[in-house]
Amino acid sequence: MVPPRSWQGVKVESAIAGPHNNLTLIRLGLALAVVVSHAFSVTTGELSDEPLVASTGFTLGEHAVNGFFAISGFLVTMSFDRRGWRDYAMARALRIAPGLIVAVLAVSLLLGSAMTTLPIGEYLGSPALRRFITATLTSFKSNTELPGVFSNNTLVLPMGTVWTLKYEVMCYAGVFLMGLVGLLQSRTVALVLVVGLALGSVGLDLLLPDAPKGMETALRLPLIFALGGALYVWRGRVRLSGLLVLVLLLATWLSAGTFLYKTLLFIGSTYGVLWLAFAPALTRFSYEPKADLSYGTYLYGWPIQQSLHALWPGMAAGVLLVPSLAITLMVAAVSWYLIEKPALGLKARALGRRTLRTIEPAAP
């Protein structure tokens, strides 16, 4: 048998069996990209002020969220396949909930108390404070305000990034249901799901090019998540190839301005991120940090930037970025070592085995 040429890449199942990957580094890079992107929207209040919008139609933060969902779709599907439904449900809850609960309480009770313009007693007794905590934790609402907090900012939202967790949890539930009915490992079902969502995305841009952003997002994130999951389901057939990454990049560039552009962008981004994460040529000498700061960076970056903007409202986006990144990484490290890592340890003990970080997706 003639061995496959190097340009053909390596099968996904072989790539993920390797001893190394770039997942932790990529997730941290994506989370930092979100913070960089929000430096513009926090200071100006306009997403269109972010440089990548003009050239790609999406902010750097939106591209980063796409990458998170691609990785999550792949790893969460693998998680159910390897664990079964009981372990899967526990693993997903212990990965998302502890960090989120502590972040919401820290922002609302500690940061909010320090930043509010109301007397502290009035703030802590406000029904709006209770509504914020309840709405953020139960429905992942990012448009809920805290009384007297950031009221002079261009955007008054204390936790502007948690809205993506709603889509993440919905995708988790979809994997759970498909796994229960025995469809999760079906290559046909995975392909039909991806094709259906892709056609929906193409159809939306063709028939309703000015559709509301929320409608586009409701197709974009599930499509990327489903494609990530499908690449795992098809792991024995699909290859990770740098040449294919270039082909998808070229196709996306050539389709700019057409109704195919966004869908090709989502497909290319998903495949490209997973190629970066697992391709042996890129992971052979990879460095895997001991701490996964991506989730904490994602959760705390926005309120920290909002606080700095409230304290120094004239600070430009580029100037705001340096202290916000430094403080965010420090807070993310505290979140990892005091909250997230102990929760992962609890999960490992509850499941009766060591939890492998290579198959643990961090929620965006």
Q: With 60 as the cut, is the pLDDT of residue 88 above it?
A: yes
Q: What is the pLDDT of residue 3?
A: 46
Q: Is the predicted pLDDT of residue 6 greater than 70, yes or no?
A: no
Q: What mean pLDDT do residues 80-99 have?
A: 92
Q: Which of 3-17, 256-270, 276-290 has the lowest mean pLDDT?
A: 3-17
Of residues 275 and 86, the one with the higher pLDDT is: 275
Q: Which residues have CB under 8 Å from 4's CB, separation 6+?
A: 10, 239
Range with lowest mean pLDDT among 37-46, 94-103, 136-145, 147-156:
37-46
DSSP sequence for 182-236: T-TT-HHHHHHHHHHHHHHHHHHHHH-TT--HHHHHHHHHHHHHHHHHHHHHTTT
Statement: residue 357 has pLDDT above 50: no
Checking if the pLDDT of 1 tops 50, the result is no
The model's confidence at residue 7, banded by pLDDT at 50, 70 and 90, is: low
Taking the CA atoms of residue 206, residue 210, residue 212 and residue 214 in that order, the dihedral angle to the nearest 10 degrees is 50
* Helix or strand run (H / E) with residue 61: helix 60-83
Q: What is the pLDDT of residue 361?
A: 52
Residue 44 pLDDT exceeds 80: yes
**Mean predicted confidence (pLDDT) in 93-109:** 96
Cα separation, 10 vs 8, in Å, equals 7
Residue 335 vs residue 362, higher pLDDT: 335
Residues 6+ apart with CB under 8 A from 146: 107, 108, 112, 116, 128, 129, 132, 158
- Burial class for 86, CB neighbours closer than 10 Å (0-12, 13-18, 19+): exposed
Query: Average pLDDT of 279-304?
Result: 91
> Which among 173, 177, 202, 236 has a CA at the least distance from the CA of 17?
236
Q: Residue written as tokens 């024995």?
A: 236
Instruction: Supply 228's token pair.
Output: 């990530």
Confidence of residue 349 (pLDDT cuts 50, 70, 90): confident
Beta strands in 219-323 (DSSP E): 239-240
Q: Which of 263, 271, 256, 262 minimizes the C-alpha distance to 198? A: 263
Distance CA 308, CA 124 (A): 22
What pLDDT is stored for residue 359 in this prediction? 47
Lowest mean pLDDT among 5-9, 40-44, 243-247: 5-9
Average pLDDT, stretch 76-90? 92
Residue 314 pLDDT greater than 90, yes or no: no
Reported as a pLDDT band with limits 50, 70 and 90, residue 83 is confident
Give yes or no for residue 2 having a pLDDT over 50: no
Q: How far apart are CA 263 and CA 269, in angstroms?
A: 10
- Which range, 42-56, 254-268, 305-319, is most confident? 254-268
Look up residue 227 and give its amino acid.
L
Percent over 70 (pLDDT), the chain = 93
The pLDDT tens digits for 248-280 are: 999 999 999 999 999 999 999 999 999 999 998
Averaged pLDDT score across all residues of the chain: 91
Mean pLDDT calculated for residue range 163-170: 96
